[in-house]
Amino acid sequence: MNVRLNLDLSFIAGVWFNNQLLMNQYLVNCNLITNTEEPGDVTIAVDRLRWWISNVAQNSIFIQNTETDKQQQFWGAQMNLVILPEVPTDQIIGMMLYSKLNAITEKKVLVADIQIASMLSDGMRYIFDDTDDYGVFLDDGWWNDADPIWWNKELISSKDEDGTLKLNPVIHWKDVQLHWTADEVKEGNVVVHDFKKDDKR
C-alpha cells in the first residue's frame, strides 16, 4: 500500500548573486509517496534526502556554472560549491532539488511535489511537481544522477601539473551506509551481498 508522507528539510547556504555573496536560510517541504513494499527502503530513501541536504546543501555556496573565476576563488578557500546551470535563484534551486531528490530515492519513494521558501524570498514559496517544465534540469547532469554527487561525472578526473591523470573520489550510497536493503552487485558469475556479522545464511 502506498503511504503519503510529508517531510520538512532546512539548510543554510550562500548564493553568489549579482557579484555578491549572500547567506540564505531555506525551508523545503516535500510531499512523498512510498513506492516499495520493503519498509526498510522507505527509511533509507528518506534518510538519503536528509543526508544530501545536511552534507551537500548545508553550508555550501550555490553558483552559476559561468562564474568560473569566482568558483576557483571559493574552491581555493576550501568552500563547497553546488554549481548550477542558471543563476541560483530560489526558483532554480527548487527545480534542482525536485530533480535531485527524486533521483536519489530511485523511485522507492516518490517526491510528488516540493515547496521551497527562503529568508531572502520574503515569504514567497515556489512549488514544483511533475507537471512543470524543468528546462535545463531535464538534460543529463548530476541533478538527475542517483549517486549522491553534486558535480557532473565527466569532472571526476583531472591532471596534475606533470600531466599525470588523477581520479577524484566518487562517493556512493554504500560509502555512507545508505544502500538499499537487498543491494546485490553482480561481478561475472559471482554475486556479492552484504550480510550482518551474525547472519547464519
Q: Which domains does the chain have, with CATH numbers?
A: 4-154 (3.30.479.10)
Measured distance CA(88)–CA(24) in Å, rounded: 11
- Long-range pairs of 151-158 with CB within 8 A, sequence gap ≥ 24: 151/83
- With beta carbons less than 8 A apart as the criterion, state whether 2 and 39 touch: no
Q: Under 8 Å CB-to-CB from 105, ≥6 apart: which residues?
A: 45, 48, 49, 111
Measured distance CA(12)–CA(26) in Å, rounded: 6
Q: How many residues belong to the chain? A: 201
Instruction: Write down the pLDDT at residue 135.
Output: 92
Measured distance CA(76)–CA(87) in Å, rounded: 22
Only one residue has cell 502506498, namely 2
Measured distance CA(171)–CA(38) in Å, rounded: 25
Stretches where the chain sits below pLDDT 50 are 165, 184-189, 191-193, 195-197, 199-201
Instruction: Write down the pLDDT at residue 166.
Output: 52
Prediction pTM value: 0.85
**pLDDT (tens digit per residue) in 98-129:** 999 999 999 999 999 999 999 999 989 999 99
- When computed from its CA atoms, the radius of gyration of the chain, rounded to whole angstroms, is 19
What is the DSSP code (8-state) at residue 54? I
Q: In this structure, what C-alpha cell is assigned to residue 93?
A: 534551486
Phi, psi of 198 (to 5 degrees): -95, 10
Q: Under 8 Å CB-to-CB from 93, ≥6 apart: which residues?
A: 26, 62, 84, 116
